[in-house]
């Protein structure tokens, strides 16, 4: 269903006068998209005011498909030009897409607010209005378009010459090999959201989508000259509800994080707090983009041809099920890492920070992070499988040293054996061994040092 209007140059009771050539403005599925806007609390007058009050701002970064991007003057909405096939596919998605968003409003999937077509001069220009992932009030220091693929996934030299280039998977592996570290609740909520969104896309047979990851480095921004940062200061005059519209990164996962228990209440300007391997504080602005690609005959043919020439598992065009699985695995194991904040048990690590990985209850590895006092940080990634039983951590050539027996009794804190049968049996064995040693006076040379 679509409705159209042809604004006359002299104006009417519905449209103002203008000095442009004759054109026709068509609205696709107006009722459905009105439900979408109501679902996210966007009032009709606010929507029209954002799009029509002031001229749209054209963004310099165009899409790989040649799409043009514009942003509303209040930073709320992105306007993107789409092809005829993409517009048709979006209309077919609307019923199932609305049901999914109604049940799961916390999502990283793009939020579509309107689909329109401008007919002028014998041409049709189709545009879609979406949520804005990257607020202009926050300076982005680096940006990635990630698919979980490695085949030709490196930004071109022409792209790198842009003020804020969109880098790709191989660039990420080179620039941030240790990944981005999130606290446990954030990490779990993010991975659950990604898993749920990928299932939705897989059910629609959608593939070739990407995760847009834009990073604001808080510590680096504080070291920048004030003149460079002034233009990115947050506009405090903007109403808080409007800010929440583009806060997709935090809004999309905070529902999960709240159910998980702890949740940071500090205002992160819509970004997800994280750290890099140096311990620098980051804000992540993320979202799934380019979902209007269906796995049809052309994509099947493209994948078959690329699989013959290259490794089929590394190309970006793939079956929806395999694509979703590879996408999740790359994001939740390579891009994002879990950290557990805990104090360092020894003086050795009190003057610095370190990351170490240990095996969790389910066999998956997690990362522990000790905050730095001196400001210098170092990443150490070691899995449980890399440490053999009975070997000192990090020194496979050194045998474990048996502690003197008198040191055992000097331990300041000993777990209550009543809470753990294993600990109780261990303490009983140590007591028996100590008694036997006192009776037989075993020479010190018989102990392994």
Residue spans per domain, the chain: 1-132, 138-222+247-252+270-306+316-341
Residue with more model confidence, 13 or 116: 116
Q: How confident is the model at residue 280 (pLDDT cuts 50, 70, 90)?
A: very high
Q: What is the residue-averaged pLDDT of the chain?
A: 73
The helix, strand and coil proportions of the chain, stated in percent and rounded to the nearest 5, come to 35, 20, 40
Residue 390, pLDDT > 70, answer no
For residue 392, give the 3-state DSSP assignment: strand
Q: How far apart are CA 268 and CA 235, in angstroms?
A: 14
Q: How far apart are CA 383 and CA 283, in angstroms?
A: 27
CATH of domain 1-132: 3.30.800.10
Residue 347, pLDDT > 50, answer no
Residue 242, pLDDT > 90, answer no
Q: How far apart are CA 333 and CA 323, in angstroms?
A: 15
205 to each of 1, 92, 193, 198, 202, how far by Cα in Å? 24, 12, 18, 10, 5
pTM of the model: 0.68
Residue 100, pLDDT > 90, answer no
Please give the CATH topology (third level) of the domain spanning 138-222+247-252+270-306+316-341.
Answer: 3.30.810
Predicted local confidence at residue 145, as pLDDT: 94
Q: What is the pLDDT of residues 131-151, one digit of tens each?
A: 999 888 889 999 999 999 888
The backbone torsions φ and ψ at residue 74, rounded to the nearest 5 degrees and listed phi first, read -90, 10
Predicted local confidence at residue 119, as pLDDT: 85
Predicted local confidence at residue 342, as pLDDT: 57
CA 154-157-159 angle, to 5 degrees, is 80
* First and final C-alpha spacing in the chain: 82
The backbone torsions φ and ψ at residue 257, rounded to the nearest 5 degrees and listed phi first, read -65, -35
Q: How confident is the model at residue 425 (pLDDT cuts 50, 70, 90)?
A: low
Residue 248, pLDDT > 60, answer no
Q: How far apart are CA 94 and CA 115, in angstroms?
A: 11
Residue 312, pLDDT > 90, answer no
Q: What is the pLDDT of residues 77-96, one digit of tens each?
A: 999 999 999 999 999 999 98
Nearest to 133, CA basis, from 76, 189, 178, 63: 76
Nearest to 99, CA basis, from 23, 36, 181: 36
Q: How far apart are CA 420 and CA 339, in angstroms?
A: 27
Residue 296, pLDDT > 90, answer no
């Amino acid at each position: 269903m679509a409705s159209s209007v042809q604004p006359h140059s002299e104006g009417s009771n519905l449209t103002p006068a203008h000095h442009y050539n004759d054109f026709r403005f068509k609205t696709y599925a107006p009722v459905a998209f009105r439900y979408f806007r109501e679902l996210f609390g966007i009032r009709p007058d606010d929507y029209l005011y954002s799009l029509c009050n002031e001229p749209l701002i054209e963004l310099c970064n165009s899409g790989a498909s040649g799409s043009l991007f514009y942003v509303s003057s209040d930073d709320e909405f992105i306007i993107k030009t789409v092809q005829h096939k993409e517009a048709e596919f979006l209309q077919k998605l609307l019923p199932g897409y609305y049901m999914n968003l109604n049940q799961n409003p916390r999502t990283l999937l793009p939020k579509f607010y309107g689909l329109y077509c401008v007919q002028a001069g014998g041409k049709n220009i189709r545009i879609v209005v979406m949520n804005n992932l990257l607020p202009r009030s926050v300076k982005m220091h680096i940006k990635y378009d990630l698919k979980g693929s490695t085949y030709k996934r490196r930004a071109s030299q022409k792209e790198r010459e842009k003020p804020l280039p969109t880098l790709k998977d191989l660039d990420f592996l080179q620039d941030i090999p240790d990944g981005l570290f999130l606290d446990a609740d954030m990490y779990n909520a993010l991975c659950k959201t990604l898993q749920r969104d990928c299932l939705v896309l897989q059910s629609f047979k959608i593939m070739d989508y990407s995760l847009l990851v834009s990073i604001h480095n808080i510590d680096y921004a504080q070291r920048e000259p004030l003149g460079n940062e002034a233009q990115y200061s947050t506009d405090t005059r903007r109403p808080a509800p409007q800010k929440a519209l583009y806060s997709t990164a935090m809004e999309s996962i905070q529902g999960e994080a709240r159910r998980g228990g702890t949740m940071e209440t500090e205002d992160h300007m819509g970004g997800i707090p994280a750290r890099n391997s140096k311990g620098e504080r980051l804000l992540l602005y993320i979202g799934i983009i380019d979902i209007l690609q269906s796995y049809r005959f052309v994509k099947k043919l493209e994948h078959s041809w690329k699989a013959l020439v290259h490794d089929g598992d590394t190309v970006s065009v793939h079956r929806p099920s395999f694509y979703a699985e590879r996408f999740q695995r790359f994001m939740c194991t390579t891009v994002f890492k879990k950290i557990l904040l805990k104090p360092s048990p020894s003086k050795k690590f009190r003057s610095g920070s370190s990351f170490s990985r240990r095996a969790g209850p389910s066999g998956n590895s997690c990362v522990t992070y000790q905050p730095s006092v001196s400001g210098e940080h170092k990443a150490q990634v070691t899995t449980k499988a890399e440490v053999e039983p009975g070997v000192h951590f990090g020194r496979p050539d050194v045998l474990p040293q048996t502690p003197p027996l008198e040191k055992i009794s000097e331990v300041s804190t000993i777990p209550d054996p009543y809470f753990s049968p294993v600990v109780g049996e261990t303490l009983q064995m140590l007591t028996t061994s100590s008694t036997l040693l006192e009776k037989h006076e075993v020479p010190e040379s018989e102990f392994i040092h």
